[in-house]
A = this chain, B = another copy of it.
Amino acid sequence: MTTYRAPIQDSLFVLNDVLQIQKHNNLPGFADATPDMIEAILGEAGKIAEEVLHPLNEAGDRQGCTWHEDHSVTTPAGFKQAYDLYSESGWGSLPFPEEHGGQGLPATLNAAVQEYVAASNMAFGMYPGLTAGAAAALIEHASDEQKQAYVPKMLAGEWSGTMNLTEPHCGTDLGLMRTKAVPQDDGTYKITGQKIWISAGEHDLSENIIHLVLARIEGAPEGVDGISLFIAPKYLLDDKGNPGDRNSLSCGSLEHKMGINGNATCVMNYEDATGYLVGTQHRGLKAMFVMMNEARLGVGVQGLAQSEVAYQNAAIWARDRLQGRSISGVKFPDQKADPIVVHPDIRRILMTVRAFNEAARALIYWTTLKGDISRRSDDADQVQSADDYMELLTPVVKGVITDTGFNNTVLSQQVFGGTGYTTEQGVEQFVRDARIAMIYEGANGIQALDLVGRKLPANGGRAVQAYFKEVGKLCSSHKENDAMAPYIVPLSKALSDLQAATMWLVQNGMSNPDNAGAASTDYMHLFGLVALGHMWALMAETAQQKLASGSDQSKQFLENKLLTGKFFMDRIIPASATHLVRIQSGADTMMALDAEAF
């Protein structure tokens, strides 16, 4: 049995104190997000996560989804009731514009809510999560008519959404796609093909499922520039806009997976299914990338979420489990043994995970706030800068937070000893669930390539240069501040490693692109250390200011922040040096072996 408690105090600290999102109340929707309102919303979100979603997590894993002969799929017991409650409470519409039926609240606030959902029950959270991504793509690219027909129902949770990209022979390389779309006289298309790994492709939670499908219109150019995006609803809408005739698409089978068993991962078969073109012909990939970017941040949230719930359970076990004696002297002489939290190596695990989680949470909010600004500000410079940052950091959030988040579930499991290996205990599910986040929405190697090959050089390196300047400025501003030195000195060192790595890439990646590829994953993780270190410096700055000003916030909370940040600087950020050495070793040894030698 596992437990979960939404880290509301920590969310509030980042939103209100570190990012001070109230400063942005000139943006649409932000004025509504007063500190009281934020606290109330997070309180409610925490409640549904703790009391409704988490209790379904283990049973959902064990029971999984069931495919029936009539191609319908049943979700685990309790999911439907939870889904209805979730939808009726408005959680599906929180950050979307009011004109489409949303509540218009900041996406930054929604990121906190989604962490709680993904931590309490990742498999469940994917159903509304996919719908949100599909709705975002429609809002950005669909016609007004299409938006009116689909988006409000999706935000209300009455209908759900999916994204259909992968085919058996084509995952990362979408240019190989074969699913075809044949234009019909009435302006619709007939879609035929097979899609795999379709999360939430078929289920019993919503009354309609709106599939967004990538396909190649007959006669389209080869490669990624010949792919178009279509809406293919499970039930075609009748003339009143209600679900009518069944479309000729169905779930052929469910994948059997390592984890996220509560989510239906479907093979979807389209046989002359009716589809409606979204946006322009052959520009489908661009439209889908809106969804992908939203989804990538969402997957980063999952990485943090699983790391957080794993940490919480490990911490409880470490405080309760009596085993051995502290090596620095007995701590609880009246008990037969000390709790294992007295052992430094257990502390090492807990602090490693905690120091990551708190910074990852801040980084996700920070990046999502850039997205809010990019979408809502009417100041062109501000939009450009925010957009640059969001684009730059998205692969870092996705790649680093899911890689490290997964490692953290493994570390947390280790605290339990043998107990952690049993399904009854439950922490092993976090490991299995977290594993997928490193793979889907672009495997992390692809995130690294996106960062190195696309995001760095974009606009002549404008984003990364601005970013280095911002982090550098923060460091300089505390040059004379002894209290901040434990945070600023290590961050400056890591920043200079990152700058050296960037320079190396500029000098060596052009002449031999394999050097860029060989460096990419280490570069992404080096970037992640700086980005997380940046968050720790901001959090330490805030905590010190609040402590100095005699804030009424818990002194203990602020002091623990400072200690946890110090741990990050002592133990985690120094890995930047190793990443730099690896990057600078180049591609030669890596590429030397013949393919047949492997």
Contacts and interface: CB of A to CB of B under 8 A. Distances in A.
Contacts of A1: none
A129 interface: no
B590 A344 contact: yes
A337 B414 CA distance: 41
Interface in A565-586: 566-567, 570-571, 574-575, 577-578, 581-582, 585
A48 interface: no
Contact of A421 (B258, B337, B424): B258
Nearest to A512: B328
Contact of A590 (B197, B567, B581): B567
A414 B345 contact: no
A4 to B, nearest CB: 15
Contact of A350 (B406, B592, B598): B598
Contacts of A512: 328
A422 to B, nearest CB: 5
A575 B574 contact: no
A461 interface: no
A324 interface: yes
A550 interface: no
A373 interface: no
Interface string A220-259: 0000000000000000000000000000000000011111
Interface stretch (A104-112, A120-128, A431-439): A431-439
Interface in A88-145: none
Contacts of A65: none
Interface string A511-535: 0111011101100000000000000
B517 A344 contact: yes
Contacts of A255: 421-422, 424
B171 A327 contact: no
A418 to B, nearest CB: 5
A596 interface: yes
A223 B336 CA distance: 10
A218 B488 CA distance: 60
Contact of A323 (B172, B318, B448, B571): B172
A6 interface: no
A343 B319 CA distance: 46
A474 interface: no
Number of copies: 2
A440 interface: yes
A591 interface: yes
A387 to B, nearest CB: 26
B417 A327 contact: no
A414 B598 contact: no
A166 interface: yes
A578 B354 CA distance: 20
A491 interface: no
Contacts of A560: 593, 597
A341 interface: yes
A346 interface: yes
Nearest to A557: B597
A475 to B, nearest CB: 19
A587 interface: yes
A53 interface: no
Given A336-B176, A414-B439, A516-B327, A574 B563 contact: no
Contacts of A421: 255, 257-259, 435-436, 439
Contacts of A410: 406, 435
Interface of A: 166, 169-173, 175-176, 196-197, 255-259, 315, 318-319, 322-324, 327-328, 336-337, 339, 341-351, 354, 406, 410, 413-414, 417-418, 420-424, 428, 431-432, 435-436, 438-440, 443-445, 448-449, 453, 512-514, 516-518, 520-521, 556, 560, 563-564, 566-567, 570-571, 574-575, 577-578, 581-582, 585, 587, 589-598
Chain A to chain B: the 8 pairs with minimum beta-carbon distance, closest first:
A344-B517, A315-B598, A570-B585, A344-B518, A327-B513, A258-B428, A345-B445, A256-B423
